[in-house]
Structure 1
C-alpha cells in the first residue's frame, strides 16, 4: 500500500476537485424528484451498450486502472425488515436515504463490474433504475454473478443518487442493506416467479438434485439456494440430513464457515442422524477455516477413532496438529514458508497465528498497546500472525486477462489517495465479516479515530450482521500494513539490481493483522516486523524486560514530512528522542550532514567499481579523505549516542567499513581499519560492545543492542569478513552469530541464513 497526499500530484488534485464539485451539485438537488422518468427499453439498451463497450475497451488495452472514491459516510440500516415500509421507485427522491423503508426489485440485465457490481433493476410496476452495489464482489477463487437476470432482492433504506453522467441510480455501500431473496421466498410477487419457481408440489429431492447440479458446476451460491428450498419442501428426516450435509459443503466452498458449522452442529445434535462421519469432517473443516485448531483436532481425533479408514480425516488431522503446534509453540518451518510464498499467487499461506510473550493492555493516552509478559532477548519471536485479510499485488504484475492492473482509492475528505490493493482489501474485510460474524470481535474494537458507528453495528438482524462499510474502511485506513511478498526475497533483488543499502519503500500489497494493529509507533522502535506472504513476523530488536511496551516504526525515520503524515493518518505526533533531536537541530546542520554524507559517497563510489583504483596507496587516500569527512560529520552531533542514535554518522562509518572489505579489482583490502570503523558504526546506533578490537585477545560481546539501522546486517557481515582476513577466527564466529540474529530480526527467520550471498 502506498498512501500519498493529493497536493503532491496535480492530476489527482484536479480529479478530487471535480469530484467535490459533483458532490456539491448533487447535494443541491437533495430531496428533488428526478427530472425525468427512465424509459425502460432505452435504459436497458444504454446499459448493455455501455457494458459491452467497457469490456471491449478493457480487453483491447494493456492497462486496467480502477479509481474508487470513498463517499461521504452514512449509517447502515439497523432495523429489522419487519419494521420497514415498502416503497416503489416512483417514491424515491434524489440524494436521500429513505430511512425506515425498503425497495423490492428484480434484476433485468446481466451484471457489469468496474468498481461496483451494476445492473438494471425493476420494481413490480416495471419502473427501472441502475443499481450499484459496492463491496459485494465474490472474493472466492471462482466468483459467481450476484446480479444475474431474475435475481430478486430487497434494498433497505434505499439511496437514490445522481450519477457521473447526469443520470440517477440506486447506490448501496453496506452489504447488510441488501437482502437477496431465495427463489421460494413468499415475498417474491407471483408475476416474477418463473415456471421452475411456480409449482408448489415439487419435492425436496427435486430441489436437492438441482442443488447438486449447481454444485457440480461450481455454482455454490446457487446450490445453497436450492438446498435451502429443498429444506422447506417437506423432506424426510433422512433427506434433511443429506441436504444439510450438502449445503454445509457448499458453504465451505464459499468460506461461509459459520453457516457450515451451524448446519453440521444441528445434525450432530440430532441423535437420530446417520450422517456422523461426514458431519464430523465438515465440522472439522469449518473449525479449521475459523482457525480454531484445538477444537478441530478434537473433532478429527474423535472421527479417526470412530472411522479409522477415513484417509481424508487422517490428512486433515495431520495439518490441524501442525497448525496447533504453530499456534501454541511458535515453532515454524520458516524455510518452507519462504518456498510457499515464492510459489503461491496470491501467497495465502496455510499456517497459524502464534502470540508469544506479549499481550494487549492500555497504554495511557496512546490507547491500547502491546507489552511483554516476560523478559525477552534481541531476536526473540514476539508473535507471528496470519493476516485477517490480505490483498496481494505486484509492481508490473499482470492479471488473469494478461493486462497490467492498478487500483487507486481516493479519499475526497482527506485529500489523499492510495495505490495498490487497498480497495480490494476493504471488500475482502467486509465479505469475511459478513460471511463469518463470529470473527467480528477480532477487528470491531480496533482504532477507528473519531468515527462513531450507529448503535446496533455488528449486531445480528434478520439473521445477518449489520456492517458499516465506512467504519470498516476507517479501521483499515488506520490499521493496515503495506508489505512485500517476502522481505528476504526483496532484499536479495535489491542487492542484485541496485546495490547495497538502498532503501525500498514501495509496498503494493497490504493486509490487516489484528493483533499487530495494537502496537504503537516509535521511530526508535524496540521491535521489527517482516513478512513472508500473508504472515507477519515480529521480533525484539533488543533485550527487553517484562512489562515493556513494544513499538514499531509506522513510517521510516527517513520518510519526508513524517510528522505531518503521522498527524494526518493517525492523529498523533511522534515525540521519540530521534524526532525531538530533529526538531532541535537547525536546518543548517541538517543540510551540512546531508552534504558531508554525499561527499563521503563520492569518495567511496569509485572504490567499489571494478578496476577504478589500484594499489595500497589508493586505499590509504580513501581512508584519509573519508576519515576527515567522518570527523567533520561527527562534529554535527551534540547529544550523547546513548540518548539519540547518530543515523548519518552510522551510515558513513558502515559504508566505509564495508567498502574496505569489498574492494574492486587490484585493491589491497584493509581489514584492520574495517574492524575499527565497523565497531564505531555500531556505537553510533547505541550498541554497547565489549571487546572485538584486534590484538586485544578479548571476546566480542554485545552488552546492549542499539537501534535497528538500515544495513545493520551488512555491517556485521563486514566485521565477520574483516576478522577472518586478519586470522581472528573466534571473533569472526562471534560476529557471524550476531549477523545471524540481525538476519533473524530483519527477515523474520534465520533458517535461510546460510544462503546469504
Structure 2
C-alpha cells in the first residue's frame, strides 16, 4: 500500500506541474525516480506510523521544556513575525468540503474545497503562534501553527494546554500547507482562527473515521456532569483564565442547556473577555426563567446591565433598571448609562474630570462616543470621506470616538523580558509588538460582535481590496456565541491585517511618549469615524486624545458640505519624509496647500529643511539666529506659499531662538524671547493681533491678543509656547497681558 500511495502521489505531483500526460507516464516508468520518491516521501510529507507521531510529539516536548526553562530564568524572549502576506480564510461550511489527508497536500498551497480532519498528539508550545503536532486518520503527521487565536498572545502555557489538549479532534477548513520559516519541513499554518473547528469525539464526522494509530490517545480526563464542569470552570475563573472558564461552563451546558448557574457564571466570564453580546444573552436567559431565588436574579440583572453598558446599549441598561428598581448595583449602572446617553445626544462632557482621569497609565475613559454634524459621504467623482452637514464654527465639537480596540504597552505584563519585532510588507516598515497585538485585539472583538465585523468590512483596506460593506449600515441582530471556540462570523484575517495597517492611530500623549518609546512599543488604536477622514498636512479638524478617546473639533470655520480632514503624518515633518511615508503606506501624493507650497519652493529648499530638521538644537544664540536666517531664505514668495500661510520648519527654529535668548540673559532677552515665541506661533498659523509687551493695552483688557476665528495649524505644539509667553510677560510685570495669554492657552485647549 505504501508503494501504491507513493506512486499515486508522484503521479499527482507531476501532473500538478502542468506536464503532459505522456511525459508524466514516461517519468513514472523511471525506476530511479520512483525509488527516490518512495524512500523519501514519508519523511517529507508526514506519511508514517505511530512511531513517527511519537517522535514528532517528543520533539515538541523538548521545545516546550526549553521555552519553560528560558522563562523561568527570565531570559530575553525574541519574538519575530511578518504581517501583510495576505493570509486567506475560509467561508465554506464544513459539510460542503471534501476531506483531504496530510499525505495528499501540496506545499505552498491552500487546499480549496477541502478540510483536514486531524487530532492533536502533543502538548503545545507557545512562542508567538501556538504550535502542536497533529495526525490524520491515515497516520500522516505535521506541525500545526495557529496565529491570532483569541486571548493567547499573553496567556500562560497552562492555558494553552487547556485550549489545545492532546486528543482534541479538529477540522481545518481549506488548510494551507507550507515550509516552516526555518528549515525544509512542511507545516500547516492557520492565520484565521475561525478556520479551526473543534469536533465532539462522538459527533457523526468524528465517528465516521478510524485512526491508523489507534482510536484513543492519552487524553486528559474531563467531568461527566454539569456540576463537575461548573467546578472546573470555577477553578479557571479563580485563576483569571477567563476563556478556559467560559469553555468549561459551555461544555457543562451541552449536558444541561438550562443550568442557570452555568449560564450565570459564563456570563461573568464573557464580561471579563469583553464579549458583551453573549454575556447579555446568558444573563437574560437566567432572568427569563423567573427563578424563585433573589440572589440569582440580582446577579443576573447586574450582569445583564453591565453587558449592555459595555456594548454601549444604554437604553437597554435603563430597561433592565426599570425592571429591577430595588437593585442598587443595577441602578448605579443605570445612572452612568443616563450620563452616557446625554453625552451621545448633546456632545456635552465633563472635560475637566475626563482630562484628570486620563492621566494614569493605559487610560480608557468611561465616556460615550458622539457624532456631531458630520457624515460619511462618497461625492460624485470623488473619494469617500467625512463631511460636515451644516456650517460649523472653529472649535466646534465634531466627534468623540472611543476605539474599536486599543492597545497600550502596559497591557503586556512581560514586556521587560521580551523583544518583539514585526515587519509589515503592507507598510514596508519594521514594527513593534503593538502592530501584531492590535490584530489579535480586532479578532477578539469580531469574535462576538458581528456589527464590529461589518464596520471593519467598511474601512479602507488598500486600493486592491475594496470595502465589502457600505457605510453607514443598519445594525444587524446579533446572536450569542454557540461556544467560545466558535465565532459569530468568519474572521477575514486578510482584511483585519490591512485595516490595522492602514487605519491605526498612534495614541498621542506627550507626557507618556518618552516612557512608551523607551519600551520600544507604542499605544495605538483603531477607530470608526476618524478612520473615514482623508489626509491633509494642514487638516480642517484638530485631533486630541483623552486616554484612548479621540476628540475632533473644527480647526476653522467650515461650510456645509466641506470635508473634515485629519493628518496621517504630521505636517511639521519635512516634505520629503511626509511624501515618502504617504506614498509607501497609502499610495498617494498629498496635494494639500502645505505640500503644494513646499513643492513650489524647489528641491534644494526641501533638502535644506530636511537637513536642518535632523540637526541637533543650536547650542549658542548666534547659531540659533543663523538657523532662522538659513531657513527663512529657503521659503520663496510664491502664490502657493501665500495661500498656505504656514512654514512649519521655522516654528522649531524660532522656538530654539527663544530658548537661546532665555539662556543668554543678554540685554532685552525677555522681550526678544517673547518676540521669537510669537514668531513661532505666527508661522504655524496663529494670527496674533497684539504683539505688544509693554505700555497700555490696545483694547479692552479682556480681549484676547489673537484672532479666535481660526485655530493654529498645529495646536498640539502651541500650549508650551503660550505658557512661556505668559511666564515671560509676568516676569516683566505685565500681569494683565500674561493673564490674556493664559486665556489663549485655555481657548486653544477647549
Equivalent runs, 1:569-608 vs 2, <5 Å: 569-590=585-606, 602=618, 605-606=619-620
> For residues 678 and 54 of structure 1, do their structure 2 counterparts lie closer, same or farther at Cα, with a shift above 3 Å needed?
closer
Asked whether 1:466 is paired with 2:490, we answer: yes
CA RMSD of aligned residues (A): 4.3
Aligned to 2:323: 302
Shift of 1:210: 4.7
> For residues 27 and 318 of structure 1, do their structure 2 counterparts lie closer, same or farther at Cα, with a shift above 3 Å needed?
farther
Q: Answer whether contact 1:647 1:685 (CA < 8 A) is retained.
A: yes
Shift of 1:45: 1.1
Among 167, 172, 182, the alignment partner of 1:155 is 172
Among 524, 527, 551, the alignment partner of 2:565 is 551
Asked whether 1:387 is paired with 2:400, we answer: no
Shift of 1:443: 2.1
> For residues 672 and 219 of structure 1, do their structure 2 counterparts lie closer, same or farther at Cα, with a shift above 3 Å needed?
closer
Aligned to 2:192: 174
Equivalent runs, 1:401-416 vs 2, <5 Å: 401=414, 403-412=416-425, 415-416=428-429
Q: Deviations over 1:395-437 (max 9, x none)?
A: xx9x645734232222347644323411111111112101322
Shift of 1:322: 4.0
In 2, Cα distance between equivalents of 1:229 and 1:247: 11
Asked whether 1:633 is paired with 2:611, we answer: no
Aligned to 2:687: 688
Give me the TM-score of the superposition, normalised by structure 1: 0.77
Q: Answer whether contact 1:137 1:427 (CA < 8 A) is retained.
A: yes
Q: Which moved more, 1:185-194 or 1:113-122?
A: 185-194
In 2, Cα distance between equivalents of 1:710 and 1:206: 57
> For residues 373 and 736 of structure 1, do their structure 2 counterparts lie closer, same or farther at Cα, with a shift above 3 Å needed?
farther
> For residues 687 and 334 of structure 1, do their structure 2 counterparts lie closer, same or farther at Cα, with a shift above 3 Å needed?
closer
In 2, Cα distance between equivalents of 1:195 and 1:175: 23
In 1, Cα distance between equivalents of 2:147 and 2:615: 54
Where 2:445 maps in the other structure, the secondary structure is helix
Q: Answer whether contact 1:641 1:684 (CA < 8 A) is retained.
A: no
Equivalent runs, 1:126-145 vs 2, <5 Å: 126-138=139-151, 144-145=159-160
In 2, Cα distance between equivalents of 1:324 and 1:653: 46
In 1, Cα distance between equivalents of 2:582 and 2:226: 59
Equivalent runs, 1:72-111 vs 2, <5 Å: 72-111=85-124
Asked whether 1:440 is paired with 2:456, we answer: no
Shift of 1:677: 4.6
Q: Answer whether contact 2:249 2:263 (CA < 8 A) is retained.
A: yes
> For residues 635 and 160 of structure 1, do their structure 2 counterparts lie closer, same or farther at Cα, with a shift above 3 Å needed?
closer
Alignment length, in residue pairs?
Answer: 678
Q: Answer whether contact 2:246 2:270 (CA < 8 A) is retained.
A: yes
Asked whether 1:37 is paired with 2:47, we answer: yes
> For residues 342 and 420 of structure 1, do their structure 2 counterparts lie closer, same or farther at Cα, with a shift above 3 Å needed?
farther
> For residues 537 and 65 of structure 1, do their structure 2 counterparts lie closer, same or farther at Cα, with a shift above 3 Å needed?
farther
Where 1:166 maps in the other structure, the secondary structure is coil
Aligned to 1:534: 548
Shift of 1:586: 2.5
> For residues 85 and 647 of structure 1, do their structure 2 counterparts lie closer, same or farther at Cα, with a shift above 3 Å needed?
closer
Shift of 1:175: 1.4
Shift of 1:554: 0.9
Q: Which moved more, 1:212-221 or 1:246-255?
A: 212-221
Aligned to 2:280: 261
Q: Answer whether contact 1:112 1:119 (CA < 8 A) is retained.
A: yes
Equivalent runs, 1:319-398 vs 2, <5 Å: 319-334=336-351, 336-337=353-354, 340-344=357-361, 346-363=362-379, 367-393=383-409
Q: Which moved more, 1:270-279 or 1:707-716?
A: 270-279
In 2, Cα distance between equivalents of 1:215 and 1:710: 44
Shift of 1:511: 1.4
Q: Deviations over 1:29-77 (max 9, x none)?
A: 9899635635112111112112222343455465333111236435322
Q: Deviations over 1:454-512 (max 9, x none)?
A: 9999999987311210111011111111234x334548x89xxxxxxxx9998722211
Among 426, 437, 455, the alignment partner of 2:439 is 426
Shift of 1:336: 4.7
Q: Answer whether contact 2:317 2:333 (CA < 8 A) is retained.
A: no
Asked whether 1:698 is paired with 2:708, we answer: no
Q: Answer whether contact 2:277 2:307 (CA < 8 A) is retained.
A: yes
In 2, Cα distance between equivalents of 1:678 and 1:204: 72
Aligned to 1:499: none
Shift of 1:110: 1.8
In 2, Cα distance between equivalents of 1:527 and 1:456: 26
Where 1:93 maps in the other structure, the secondary structure is coil
Asked whether 1:522 is paired with 2:536, we answer: yes
In 1, Cα distance between equivalents of 2:455 and 2:414: 35
Asked whether 1:288 is paired with 2:287, we answer: no
Where 2:722 maps in the other structure, the secondary structure is helix
In 2, Cα distance between equivalents of 1:84 and 1:286: 37
Among 227, 233, 248, the alignment partner of 2:255 is 233
In 1, Cα distance between equivalents of 2:519 and 2:244: 44
- Unaligned runs of 5+ residues in structure 2 are 1-12, 19-36, 471-475, 700-704
> For residues 534 and 104 of structure 1, do their structure 2 counterparts lie closer, same or farther at Cα, with a shift above 3 Å needed?
same
In 1, Cα distance between equivalents of 2:237 and 2:607: 67
In 2, Cα distance between equivalents of 1:626 and 1:455: 55
Aligned to 1:616: none
Give me the TM-score of the superposition, normalised by structure 2: 0.78
Q: Answer whether contact 2:658 2:673 (CA < 8 A) is retained.
A: yes
In 2, Cα distance between equivalents of 1:126 and 1:599: 64
Where 1:403 maps in the other structure, the secondary structure is helix
Q: Which moved more, 1:593-602 or 1:280-289?
A: 593-602
Shift of 1:100: 2.1
In 1, Cα distance between equivalents of 2:76 and 2:519: 23
Aligned to 2:77: 64
> For residues 149 and 373 of structure 1, do their structure 2 counterparts lie closer, same or farther at Cα, with a shift above 3 Å needed?
same
Shift of 1:441: 2.5
Aligned to 2:268: 249
Aligned to 1:739: 745
Shift of 1:387: 1.6
Aligned to 1:482: 506
Shift of 1:635: 7.0
In 1, Cα distance between equivalents of 2:17 and 2:127: 26
Where 1:47 maps in the other structure, the secondary structure is helix
Shift of 1:178: 0.7
> For residues 232 and 706 of structure 1, do their structure 2 counterparts lie closer, same or farther at Cα, with a shift above 3 Å needed?
closer
Q: Answer whether contact 1:446 1:517 (CA < 8 A) is retained.
A: yes
Q: Which moved more, 1:529-538 or 1:54-63?
A: 54-63
Shift of 1:223: 4.1
In 2, Cα distance between equivalents of 1:61 and 1:654: 45
Equivalent runs, 1:603-682 vs 2, <5 Å: 605-606=619-620, 629=629, 633=633, 636-639=636-639, 641-657=642-658, 659-660=660-661, 662-664=662-664, 667-682=666-681
Shift of 1:264: 3.5
Aligned to 1:51: 64
Q: Answer whether contact 2:706 2:744 (CA < 8 A) is retained.
A: no
The structure whose RCO (Cα within 8 Å, separation 6+) is larger is 1
In 2, Cα distance between equivalents of 1:214 and 1:505: 31
In 2, Cα distance between equivalents of 1:635 and 1:482: 31
Q: Answer whether contact 1:526 1:542 (CA < 8 A) is retained.
A: yes
In 1, Cα distance between equivalents of 2:676 and 2:427: 46
Q: Answer whether contact 1:95 1:159 (CA < 8 A) is retained.
A: yes
In 2, Cα distance between equivalents of 1:598 and 1:447: 33
